Structure 1
Amino acid sequence: MHGGRTADVRVGLVGEFGVHNSGNEATLQVVLDLLAADARLAPVVVADKHDVVARDRGVRAVPLHDPAARRGGLRGLLGKASDAWHAWRTVGLLDVVVIPGTGIFEGLAIAPGGIPLTLFWYGLAARLRRRPFLVLSVGVDEAFHPVTGRLFRWTMGCATYLSVRDAGSARAARALGVRRDLPVVPDLVLGVDVGTADRGTGAGTVAVGVIEYRGIGTAESEADRAAYVERVLHVVRRLTDAGHDVLVVGGALPDRPTVELVAARAVVAAPGRVTASDALSLDDLTRDLATCAAVVAARYHNLIAALRLDLPAVSVGYGSKQEWLLADFGRPERAHRIDTFDPDEVADQVLAAVTAGSDPAAHDVLDEARRALADQAARVAALLRDVADARAPHADTVPESSGACP
């Protein structure tokens, strides 16, 4: 409660937070900053790692799933039903429900009974309880299970306001059967102004991003991991042979073993030229990248971090989203698939990008992205302000969904 008001507006932020994924955490911070502009808005993070979020951020956080539910086997089916009731009760404690960005609607290797079903429970509960349900700048791709696709479609249909972060996500949503207005508003993190990189002098350092990779959409494979590491090491050798120092970076806590492995093996051939970044947050990673001349990005938000610093970037990614992002910035040829990339082609592109420097056309794309994000932030702030001004968050005057929610 704040002096002179009847109640705070409790804004639930639903997502996979507290899991040491730097992109997800940076996305959450963007929305927390937006809410902080109006003291009447009280964030409530809804996440499985709610205890981590509460400890690290000092905000209220509650479980995404029923913590008492059984998991696995036949009893797991009862757990899913319990999760539906848990979502219903949780939404009842909230005045607005928000899914803030991230690639949470990406279907690769995601079981329908996991996050797709959970998001549907929250979307349906918001619709039935007449709460505004905002889905902001999310990434969508092809769902690899028909039930996953159906759940994603229904959840997006429940939204009061829905935006996707790129044209590729809009196409994917249409392919899933979403039939509603789909404004394209770039990734939320792209709107954070961090200035431009200070590339220093000389050949410059190149950041090489890695992930803990063991194949895409298949059983985990040590052979896939070993082949990936060898190809990354080939890129690193090409860069150090050309006179560049290399900073090996990750983007989530599980990437740490691969970061250390690549750096340890590469430094044997190039003593003093290869180091491992210990950055776990996107802010720390941005500070590391700001002294680099170019970036090879493996994770999506590492690519975002490079582009918003006005750094030339090449992507070795695990999904279509990196390809779509680089296409938006006029560099589709710099996007490579992590399972098939040619290390010599990647190295050649990096070396050429360092020589060419920043691309003026990319500045215009970034400026336009930030304008679109500012417009969306103003729209969301106005909606939340209207809820707060009404001082009756549970009234029947909240906006209805414009989609088809079962």
Structure 2
Amino acid sequence: MSAVRVGVFGLLGSGNLGNDGSLEALLGYLRAEHPEAAVDALCGGPEAVTARYGIPATRLHWYRGEYRTASRAGAVAGKGLGKFIDVFRTAAWVRRHDVVMVPGMGVLEATLPLRPWGFPYALFLLCASGRLSGTRVALVGVGAAPIGNRATRTLVRWSARLAAYRSYRDAPSRDAMRAMGVDTTRDGVCPDLAFALPTPPAGAPPGPAGTVCVGVMAFHGGDDDRARAEEIHRRYLDGVTGFVRWLVDDGRPVRLLTGDEVDRPVVAAILEAVDSPLVTVAETASLADLMKEAAAADTVVATRYHNLICALKAGTPTLALSYAAKSDALMARMGLGPYRHPAREVDTDRLVEQFRELEKNAAELRRTLAERNRVAARQLKDQFDALTAALFPTTGRARPRARQEAP
């Protein structure tokens, strides 16, 4: 029996800790349940993925400047040529595999600025290549949301239709795909894959008493907010800075968290504006690092989705600066639905009131999170069992026919 050839696909190794955490969780499942599988990746940062996870990796796009703005004729031509070449590169890579998995990530949404001919086009090429070559493509625990841009919505809809297997990280994601015209009757919902990562060990060294982790983000609104992007960002930054200043005035140590390389200017702006030794920056290279920071804190206030996941999985009372339905759904799933504040309209005074309420109920919220994390672990085990049954016939288990929706 030859080894099953498994490919993983996505913007992995590109500096986003949430994306890499989803990959790490999927690799943990594959190594535990399918150690015979030969795994490699088609991804945004192949060198980083190979160095960190020890699997061969290929660059996602032929044109290296894919995600830089093309202002010169040469760059525009390079991008155009790259789109054509990537058709054949993607198809050749997909054909070499029995299964290709897209692990977690918000691959079916545009809650952050997104061009249709960037990642949505790459995902469509992947799913179309899988259908044409007979390679099963699985979208595993992915995020989705309503999309306003017609071209992006069309590419996302057809990508989902062409996939052999789909599951979502929350019910609103499944609802969004149903609203786009995808038959989701047999599609499952499970917690985000990051909940399958190890939890920091009990008794991890605590931080200074009263430490608050504040997770920040280079937030400029979503894909439909491009005209107001700078206004939204300024309001967000001013509100978060005001909250950090209030914490410092109250004598509270603050640890600033990020989740992507693009967040660093926000950190720099807050440090300059507040200018206090009580404000420090956590150096995090993985979701495990983020979880350790959250576990050592008394409370967390965060924006990025996977900052929230890390804090909730660590069992730390958390308040979400919510920018999308996925954050709202996550907080509701974990029993902290009331502790949300809109990232687009940060009101420092109101945020302080909610934070005080969070602290007052901290003991009860820790008990709630412990129970919800146990439920999430059981649900993810069921998700991985379903994935094995659907995609790995060589394990000897009965395999139902993989779902392929007619175009």
Q: Into which bin does the TM-score normalised by the smaller protein fall?
A: 0.7 to 0.9
The aligned amino acid for 2:147 is A
- Are 1:159 and 2:166 matched, yes or no? no
Residues 197-238 of structure 1 show CA distances to partners (whole Å, capped at 9, x for unaligned) of 869598511101111234543158655544332211211122
Distance 1:256 1:220, change over 3 A: farther
CA contact (8 A) 2:390 2:402 kept: no
For residue 45 of structure 1, the aligned residue among 41, 62, 73 is: 41
For residue 247 of structure 1, the aligned residue among 255, 277, 291 is: 255
SS of structure 1 residue aligned to 2:189: coil
CA contact (8 A) 1:308 1:366 kept: yes
The answer for the alignment partner of 2:217 in structure 1 is 211
The aligned amino acid for 2:7 is G
Alpha-carbon shift at residue 82 of structure 1 (Å): 2.4
The aligned amino acid for 1:325 is L
The answer for the alignment partner of 1:190 in structure 2 is 195
Alpha-carbon shift at residue 276 of structure 1 (Å): 1.4
Alpha-carbon shift at residue 318 of structure 1 (Å): 2.8
- Determine the C-alpha separation between the residues in 1 that align with 2:101 and 2:313: 25
Which gives a bigger RCO, structure 1 or 2 (Cα 8 Å, sep 6+)? Answer: 1
The answer for the alignment partner of 1:354 in structure 2 is 359
What root-mean-square deviation, in Å, do the aligned CA atoms of Structure 1 and Structure 2 show? 2.7
Residues 312-368 of structure 1 show CA distances to partners (whole Å, capped at 9, x for unaligned) of 111113322111211222333322222212122222222221221142333333222
Distance 1:8 1:398, change over 3 A: farther
The aligned amino acid for 2:35 is A
Residues 278-307 of structure 1 show CA distances to partners (whole Å, capped at 9, x for unaligned) of 213211121111110111111000000011
- Are 1:179 and 2:183 matched, yes or no? yes
Alpha-carbon shift at residue 386 of structure 1 (Å): 2.0
- Determine the C-alpha separation between the residues in 1 that align with 2:286 and 2:25: 13
The answer for the alignment partner of 2:301 in structure 1 is 296
The answer for the alignment partner of 1:84 in structure 2 is 87
- Determine the C-alpha separation between the residues in 1 that align with 2:152 and 2:332: 27
- Are 1:116 and 2:120 matched, yes or no? yes
The aligned amino acid for 1:261 is A
The aligned amino acid for 1:236 is V
- Determine the C-alpha separation between the residues in 2 that align with 1:163 and 1:58: 26
Task: Summarize the alignment of residues 44-63 of structure 1 with structure 2, pairs less than 5 Å apart.
Answer: 44-63=40-59
For residue 371 of structure 1, the aligned residue among 378, 393, 397 is: 378
The answer for the alignment partner of 2:135 in structure 1 is 131
- Determine the C-alpha separation between the residues in 1 that align with 2:64 and 2:292: 41
Aligned length: 391
The aligned amino acid for 1:143 is I
- Determine the C-alpha separation between the residues in 2 that align with 1:231 and 1:201: 25
- Are 1:98 and 2:94 matched, yes or no? no
Alpha-carbon shift at residue 97 of structure 1 (Å): 0.8
Task: Summarize the alignment of residues 220-235 of structure 1 with structure 2, pairs less than 5 Å apart.
Answer: 224-235=232-243
Uncovered stretches (5+) of structure 2, i.e. residues with no partner:
67-73
TM-score of the superposed pair, with normalisation by structure 1: 0.88
- Determine the C-alpha separation between the residues in 2 that align with 1:122 and 1:388: 25
- Determine the C-alpha separation between the residues in 2 that align with 1:201 and 1:10: 44
The aligned amino acid for 2:385 is A
- Determine the C-alpha separation between the residues in 1 that align with 2:237 and 2:205: 27
- Determine the C-alpha separation between the residues in 2 that align with 1:119 and 1:16: 10
CA contact (8 A) 2:12 2:45 kept: yes
The aligned amino acid for 2:374 is D
Distance 1:132 1:307, change over 3 A: same
TM-score of the superposed pair, with normalisation by structure 2: 0.87
Identity, % of aligned positions: 31
